[in-house]
Amino acid sequence: MRKRDWPVGGGGVTSCGQVTERASGRAGGGPAAGWARPGCRLCPSGAERSRAEPPGGSGLCAMRPGPEEGADSTPLLQERDPAGPVPVCCSTRYNLAVLAFFGFFLLYALRVNLSVALVDMVESNTSLPTNTTSKVCPDHSAPLDVARSGKGKKYPWDAETQGWILGSFFYGYIITQIPGGYVAGRVGGKLLLGFGILGTAVFTLFTPLAADLGVGFLIAVRALEGLGEGVTFPAMHAMWASWAPPLERSKLLSISYAGAQLGTVVSLPLSGLICFYMNWIYVFYLFGTVGVFWFVLWIWLVSDTPDTHKTISQSEKEYILSSLKNQLSTQKSVPWKPMLKSVPLWAIVVAHFSYNWTFYTLLTLLPTYMKEILRFDAQENGFLSALPYFGCWLCIILSGQIADYLREKRRFSTVCVRRTFSLIGMIGPAVFLVAAGFIGCDYSLAVAFLTVSTTLGGFCTSGYGINHLDIAPSYAGILLGITNTFATIPGMIGPVIAKSLTPNNTVEEWQMVFYIAAAINIFGAFFFTLFASGEVQDWALNGYHRHTN
């Protein structure tokens, strides 16, 4: 534990910010303060911070007082260049965020296109009772004059088989989470993320062939796609540990990860149109080909760290490296034991698992709910299934800006922002999800409630979603691998459980699916609120990585 080096003279550090004149010994600062200087943003770090905030924080949301008042005082930015932060426009770090945005756009397009295509891949006149369509609601769609393509091959898969097909992706996805985070932390995330998306794209191209060969082959191909995608989020987190200045984390990560929601928004209706007018096989050929093209751009334009980037400006490089110099550890080995004992880490695990139960249930089964309960045509189904994720995309972008605004202006501590945004992003969706099960056949209200529910979930990205970087930036990839391993379990068992709970596709059966998802969401929200932290943990600070400017 390092010696605490506070200024003398009875002053203090206000809001983890400027040093008062009493602390410096004279107006404008002076030698008496040691490291004090007017305009400098200085914060205690490491062991000092552990004494600054009691376990669990001081309430849900507290303004940023001085360290002596128990505020979250994680060092956000060290001494800035007199000219201020490097402009956002055309900066290398924001170019990385935009390219990552399109990468995750394709990632989720490749993941969810089967949810829509599967509706057209399955025989609609099957005699199996598990594929019964609910007759509670009348047909909503008006007959269309355009002749529908009937060229797509149909398969006699019952509801249980469909559930296993939709869940098979996650059998591979769960395996590569922690290894992906570990490898990304050792060798960098660029190649890992790039080849992860490339592999997913290539296996997507083989999906029609696998379906022809049999359901076992299709499940295997989807599991292999999951292996590729499993490394992507940990790899991206590991890259942002080196690229994102602390006060820009919410903005940069929300931009890059919002691509996943927009990928869902575009993929669902576009897949519906392709299935309606052409053939479902082209759904997989289109998105798979675009994924290969993105890989070429990623390899050409991206570097693992600012130090290795060929075209980054010197001012931006110094700005990024200086902002992170006291947050990254140089120790070679991973502190597994203290890491796994960390309560803030398990708070993220519980929140991530809880949120994903609702997210994956809707992601994989919303097209089915639209068709079987609300009785929308497949073309309308795609558009309406995408609407909730369009709202979520907007919410992710806006909440990221708001979160960093609140932190940068020192109005709220980091832990306050993470807790508040997680509460909104988990309890809000739970309320509207339950409400959606009680509105019967009111189509517009059902779509509105599901849209609001999914939209509010976007707040979680700036809540627990990037909290890994707050508590251990050096090991953010590994931490995300750990939390995402647990959070993948809902993707594996959620669709299967939901399908088993809805054999007759009645409104009452779907209400039970919504109840379970809402209850899990609320539990996760309160658990995270009680045990989350905004501090860089002591076990993640053994040995500072001091960059040379």
Q: Per-residue pLDDT tens for 86-127?
A: 667 778 999 999 999 999 999 999 988 888 888 888 876 543
Quote the CA–CA distance of 283 and 272 in Å, as a whole number.
Answer: 9
Q: Which of 484, 468, 457 shows the shortest CA–CA distance to 534?
A: 468
By percentage, how much of the chain surpasses pLDDT 70? 74
> For the residues 444-455, what does the mean pLDDT come to?
84
Q: How far apart are the C-alpha atoms of 507 and 7, rounded to whole Å?
A: 65
pLDDT at position 232? 94
Categorize the per-residue pLDDT at 382 as very low, low, confident or very high, splitting at 50, 70 and 90.
low
**332-548 homologous superfamily:** MFS general substrate transporter like domains (1.20.1250.20)
| Best-predicted range by mean pLDDT (422-426, 438-442, 495-499) | 422-426
Mean pLDDT for the stretch of residues 253-274: 88
Of the pLDDT bands very low, low, confident and very high (cuts 50, 70, 90), residue 129 is very low
For the entire predicted model, the pTM comes to 0.74
Q: What is the C-alpha separation between 375 and 514, in angstroms, rounded?
A: 18
Q: Which residue has the higher pLDDT, 177 or 327?
A: 177
Domain with CATH 1.20.1250.20 in the chain: 89-124+149-313+320-325, 332-548
Rounded mean pLDDT of 165-190?
A: 88
Cα diameter, the chain: 87
More confident residue, 447 or 34: 447
Binned at pLDDT 50, 70 and 90, residue 72 comes out as very low
Q: How far apart are CA 207 and CA 165, in angstroms?
A: 12
Q: Is pLDDT at 286 greater than 70 in this prediction?
A: yes
Interval 182-235: pLDDT, tens: 998 888 899 999 999 999 999 999 999 999 998 999 999 999 999 999 999 999
Q: For position 398, what pLDDT does the model report?
A: 94
- 294-303, 326-335, 538-547: least confidently modelled range: 538-547
Tell me: pLDDT of 364 over 70: no
Residue 329's φ and ψ, nearest 5 degrees, are -95, 150
Q: Are 319 and 86 in contact (CB under 8 A)?
A: yes
Kindly report the CA angle at 352 between 348 and 354, in degrees rounded to 5?
A: 120
Which numeric CATH code is attached to 89-124+149-313+320-325?
1.20.1250.20
pLDDT of residue 520: 94
With 50 as the cut, is the pLDDT of residue 16 above it? no
Distance from first CA to last CA of the chain, Å, rounded?
26
* pLDDT band of 447, cuts 50, 70, 90: confident
Mean pLDDT for 43-66 is: 44
Mean residue pLDDT of the chain comes to 78
